[in-house]
Amino acid sequence: MPTNSLSQHLPFGENKNAEWYGKDIISVKQFNRNDLEYIFGVAHEMRGMVERVGTFDLLKGKILANLFYEPSTRTSSSFTAAMERLGGSVIPINEVKYSSVSKGESLPDTIRTLECYADVIVLRHPETGSAAIAAKAAKKPVINAGDGVGEHPTQALLDVFTIYEELGAGQVDGMTVTMLGDLKYGRTVHSLARLLSMFTNIKLNYVSPEILRMPKEVMDEIGEKKVPQAEFDTLEKVLPETDVLYVTRVQKERFEDPVDYEKVKGAYVIDPDIMKSAKQEMIVMHPLPRVGEISTDFDDDPRAAYFRQMEYGLYVRMALLAMVLGKA
Ligand code: CP
């Protein structure tokens, strides 16, 4: 290359031999326990860097295409913030109706288009399996930001990172985690239950109305790892033993029959009164948004971790972007 070429002005490139370089993040099934420790180590470093310097140039010159076919506040804006805090930039496509998707462009063609302009693609889509289809079409890394009722792997990672940061990394083994609400359509709990099954002596309680039970295929998968699982209709019996209470919204938009939604929408509400029977050393989490299943009266309780949980998501997404772009 001639010495006056543009390349002499370029920052150091990415490490193409790094384990995570160029990889897609599609399902929590692709991770093992060592991967989790690595991701959380990088996320913890990201937390320290943001607290010390705010923004830095690790991904300067890199571009993220943030493609959302479904509404999002947290996932979309935290990926944008993550890329910008790392010095990169973002192509935001939050309203696909203003893109060529509204003209009937297929998902694979949309992905092939965006990878001409971006180094990494984050995708949220209403259909289960869409992230895998996108990853097959793409040469650049695709990160699943939620595919229908399938998975939400970055949410599950940030959920476990929240437990690490709030209760201590060593505390996850031996923990009792109670998942509450819509366990049928809640993709976050499907991914979280799978991740938690990698820990030892973990116990999972599922509390939901009959029509919103955890899917059998998820329970079978977790059962194969000999993780104790139990289903309940009410919270009272399991709340006193719970270390992490993971509350979910009953998702109106996933119900085929609105009558079914009306039957179960207010089934559980966490408030200061019910929380009197819970431990003092425990946390309440929620992927958010909430629509009444946690009373705002509980928000000031130190055990209410759901707003801090959103911030942990920024650090995990910074870690993932740096990893798949060969900078961590
Ligand atoms: N937790 C979560 O996925 O939130 P958003 O739908 O706002 O992205």
141 and 165, same domain (yes or no): no
Torsion angles phi and psi, residue 77, rounded to 5: -75, -30
58 and 164, same domain (yes or no): no
Q: What is the pLDDT of residue 14?
A: 78
Closest ligand 1 atom to 287 CA: 1
Q: Is 74 in the pocket of ligand 1 (CB under 6 A)?
A: yes
- 257 within domain boundaries: yes
Q: Is 288 in the pocket of ligand 1 (CB under 6 A)?
A: yes
Residue 1 pLDDT level (bands cut at 50, 70, 90): very low
Strand partners, 207: 180, 232
77 and 172, same domain (yes or no): no
Q: Residue 231 belongs to what H/E stretch?
A: strand 229-232
In 3D, which of 281, 279, 284 has the Cα closest to residue 304?
A: 284
Cα–ligand 1 centroid distance for 152 (angstroms): 9
Give the C-alpha separation, 130 to 274, whole Å: 39
169 and 257, same domain (yes or no): yes
17 and 86, same domain (yes or no): yes
Q: What is the pLDDT of residue 8?
A: 62
89 and 206, same domain (yes or no): no
Q: How many residues does the chain have?
A: 328
Torsion angles phi and psi, residue 272, rounded to 5: -55, -30
- 269 within domain boundaries: yes
Tokens of 50: 């943001």
For residues 100 and 79, the model is more confident at 79
pLDDT at 53 over 90: yes
User: Under a CB-based contact definition with an 8 Å cutoff, are residues 114 and 123 in contact?
Assistant: no
The per-residue b/e assignment along 177-201, b for 16 or more CB within 10 angstroms, e otherwise, is bbbbbbbbbbbbbbbbbbbbbbbee
Q: Is 191 in the pocket of ligand 1 (CB under 6 A)?
A: no
Residue with the smallest CA separation from ligand 1 atom 1 is 287
What is the rounded average pLDDT for all residues in the chain?
A: 92
Closest ligand 1 atom to 75 CA: 8
Q: Is 75 in the pocket of ligand 1 (CB under 6 A)?
A: yes
pLDDT at 264 over 80: no
DSSP H helical ranges for 54-144: 74-85, 107-117, 130-137
- 60 within domain boundaries: yes
130 and 59, same domain (yes or no): yes
Burial of 327 (0-12, 13-18, 19+ CB in 10 A): buried
- Candidate from 69, 155, 185 with most ligand 1 atoms within 8 A of CB, to mutate: 155
Q: Is 155 in the pocket of ligand 1 (CB under 6 A)?
A: yes
Q: What is the mean pLDDT of residues 2-20?
A: 69
- 1 within domain boundaries: no
Q: Which domain holds residue 249?
A: 153-309
Query: Roughly what angle, to the nearest 10 degrees, separates helices 306-324 and 74-85?
Result: 50
Classify residue 11 by its DSSP letter. Answer: P
Cα–ligand 1 centroid distance for 252 (angstroms): 15
- Candidate from 75, 290, 293, 307 with most ligand 1 atoms within 8 A of CB, to mutate: 75
What does the pLDDT look like over 152-201, one tens digit per residue?
Answer: 999 999 999 999 999 998 789 999 999 999 999 888 999 999 999 999 99
198 and 66, same domain (yes or no): no
Q: Scanning the structure block, which residue is given the tokens 């860097």? A: 49
Q: What is the mean pLDDT of residues 287-303?
A: 96
Closest ligand 1 atom to 77 CA: 8
234 and 141, same domain (yes or no): no
For residues 157 and 1, the model is more confident at 157
Give the C-alpha separation, 32 to 245, whole Å: 24
Give the C-alpha separation, 161 to 209, whole Å: 28
Cα–ligand 1 centroid distance for 220 (angstroms): 27
103 and 158, same domain (yes or no): no
Give the C-alpha separation, 118 to 12, whole Å: 19
CATH of the domain at 76: 3.40.50.1370
- 169 within domain boundaries: yes
Cα–ligand 1 centroid distance for 6 (angstroms): 41
Residue 272 pLDDT level (bands cut at 50, 70, 90): very high
Cα–ligand 1 centroid distance for 126 (angstroms): 13
Judging by DSSP bridges, how do beta strands 120-125 and 244-247 pair with one another?
unpaired
Q: What is the pLDDT of residue 260?
A: 77
Residue 214 pLDDT level (bands cut at 50, 70, 90): very high
- 13 within domain boundaries: yes
169 and 100, same domain (yes or no): no
Give the C-alpha separation, 284 to 267, whole Å: 17
Contacts of 96 (CB under 8 A, 6+ apart): 67, 68, 69, 102
Residue with the smallest CA separation from ligand 1 atom 4 is 74
- 207 within domain boundaries: yes
Tell me, letter by letter, the H, E, C secondary structure of 167-216: HCHHHCCCCEEEEECCCCCCHHHHHHHHHHCCCCCCEEEEECCHHHCCCH
Residue with the smallest CA separation from ligand 1 atom 6 is 72
pLDDT at 38 over 80: yes
- 76 within domain boundaries: yes
pLDDT at 88 over 90: yes
User: Under a CB-based contact definition with an 8 Å cutoff, are residues 189 and 164 in contact?
Assistant: no
Cα–ligand 1 centroid distance for 192 (angstroms): 14
> How many structural domains are present in the chain?
2
Tokens of 275: 């929380």
187 and 291, same domain (yes or no): yes
Q: What is the pLDDT of residue 256?
A: 75
Sheet holding 203-207, edge to edge: 229-232, 203-207, 176-180, 244-247, 283-285
Cα–ligand 1 centroid distance for 74 (angstroms): 5
Give the C-alpha separation, 132 to 101, whole Å: 18
Closest ligand 1 atom to 71 CA: 6
Q: Is 72 in the pocket of ligand 1 (CB under 6 A)?
A: yes
Q: Which sign, positive or negative, has the C-alpha torsion 42, 43, 45, 50?
A: positive
Helices (runs of H) and strands (runs of E) counted in the chain: 9, 9
